Amino acid sequence: MVLHNRVSAAELKKRLLMETIKRVTISFYQYAKIQDPQAFRDQLYESLFKLDVFGRIYVANEGINAQISVPEHNFEAFRDALYAIDFLNGIRLNIAVDDDGKSFFVLKIKVRDKIVADGISDPTFDMANRGKYVDAKGFNALTDDPDTVIVDMRNHYEYEVGHFDGAIEIPSDTFRDQLPMAVDMLKDQKDKNIIMYCTGGIRCEKASAYMLHHGFKNVFHLEGGIIEYTNKARQQELPIKFKGKNFVFDDRLGERISEDIISQCHQCGEPCDTHTNCLNDGCHLLFIQCESCAQKYDGCCSDACKDVYALPEEERAELRKGVDKGLMFNKSRRKRLK
């Protein structure tokens, strides 16, 4: 069996759009010791491929991080296959809040140095010493306490479209930069309750361990992140303290949590929280664009990119040969949209 995809992305996306089956988008992670990540990766690929699972999974010595799409009729078989793996038995599966079933179109499983790039090189850092889990009810109760600090451990473009009431932003594009920044920003509040949160729990769990490693005492992290919080709050009819959209790293680019629109179109300034990628393949900038500007700029981030996008594909391909690849897929509007 070939343990990787050989079909073009265009063809796979076409097949996905033609699917009539219902899919469910799921995320999960687990910090665990994996002795042979490559062997584990190959076994997992073979198992999930048979179940027609799509998505993006990272495997490392420190564990697994997955965002996937599973056919609804294969969900139980998928769960059984996952739970048959010792360190994944009974693992929490975060079910997407706002799901159209079109989140992924191919299965990719990659071996990485870490499942979350953290920049931590200190050999005494130990993920086993992590903060306390707090569920939706506990989160709401703790955040009512004036001695609680709510810390968003996501990137600025995620925070921009949605976040919890009163949460502070750690203003960086990367998690590895956020960790020392969070320690520095909160150094005078070490005795307060520190609640950290992220999309599905993986970043805030590691961040909680990092804060404890640097002398903080009362550190909590939101179990299952924003996704699990929202699902549980709705099930238990609790007040939902998250406002706006939860950014997600798949083709949806966001799931609606509340009707509040707390951000603006990056081009005209009108209220908007719809992320898109510039259609100029030599740019592909992630930014917020309203429907009016999408029409005005043909889905591009600027007049310059609109002009390039209007060229024949052969000319666009020639132009891309000279593009600095370091500028591609840049998610920071602070650096690009000025």
List of residues 6+ apart from 163 with CB closer than 8 A: 152, 169, 242, 243, 244, 262
The answer to whether the beta carbons of residues 195 and 178 sit under 8 Å apart is: no
The answer to whether the beta carbons of residues 175 and 202 sit under 8 Å apart is: no
Task: Please give the radius of gyration of the chain, using alpha carbons only, rounded to the nearest integer.
Answer: 21
DSSP string, 197-208: E-SSSHHHHHHH
CA dist 137 and 174 (Å) reads 29
Q: What is the dihedral of CA 34, 38, 43, 46, to 10 degrees?
A: 140
**Amino acid code (one letter) for 64:** I
Residue 198 annotated as catalytic: yes
Q: Which parts of 48-169 are beta strand (E)? A: 54-60, 63-71, 94-95, 107-111, 132-134, 148-152, 162-164, 168-169
198, 265, 301, 305: the active-site residue: 198
Positions marked catalytic: 198
